């Protein structure tokens, strides 16, 4: 009996840590962001009942974690590409960066 209780708890822990029931992680950061924006819009619209709101919140938490993970991966790649020496943009005397000259060529 103790084995089945332990197994049930382990299964619950695994499902809580993974994506929501039947919902896989998005293919990309952009897809996750689009889905997250849609969820926020539905939640702000006030048309969801309590259970739907809770489900949307849980899915949103998964999407936020996915987006943060993707951003961390990209930041790490940038550090590697830049040799761990990220440099601030040079600021000219007008207080704008060199790229703010207005010339978008």
All structural domains of the chain with their residue ranges: 25-84
Question: Burial letters for 18-52: b for 16+ Cβ neighbours within 10 Å, e otherwise?
Answer: eeeeeeeebeebeebbebbeebeeeeeeeebeeee
Which residue matches tokens 């703010």? 100
- What is the pLDDT tens value at each position of the chain, 105 positions in all? 444 444 443 444 444 444 444 579 999 999 999 999 999 999 999 999 999 999 999 999 999 999 999 999 999 888 888 776 666 667 777 666 555 555 555
- Domain covering 25-84, topology: Helix Hairpins (1.10.287)
CB 40, CB 60: distance < 8 Å:
yes
Residue 91, beta-bridge partner list: 97
Angstrom distance (rounded) from CA 62 to CA 18: 8
SS3 of 8, please?
Answer: helix
Angstrom distance (rounded) from CA 2 to CA 8: 10
This prediction has a pTM of 0.58
Angstrom distance (rounded) from CA 73 to CA 22: 25
């Amino acid at each position: 009996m103790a084995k089945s209780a332990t197994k049930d708890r382990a299964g619950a822990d695994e499902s809580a840590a993974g994506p929501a029931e039947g919902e896989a992680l998005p293919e990309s950061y952009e897809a996750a962001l689009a889905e997250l924006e849609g969820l926020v819009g539905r939640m702000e619209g006030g048309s969801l009942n309590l259970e739907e709101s809770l489900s949307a919140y849980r899915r949103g938490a998964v999407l936020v974690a996915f987006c943060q993970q993707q951003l961390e991966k990209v930041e790490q790649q940038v550090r590697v590409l830049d040799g761990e020496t990220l440099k601030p943009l040079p600021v000219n005397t007008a207080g704008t960066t060199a790229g703010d000259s207005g010339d978008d060529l």
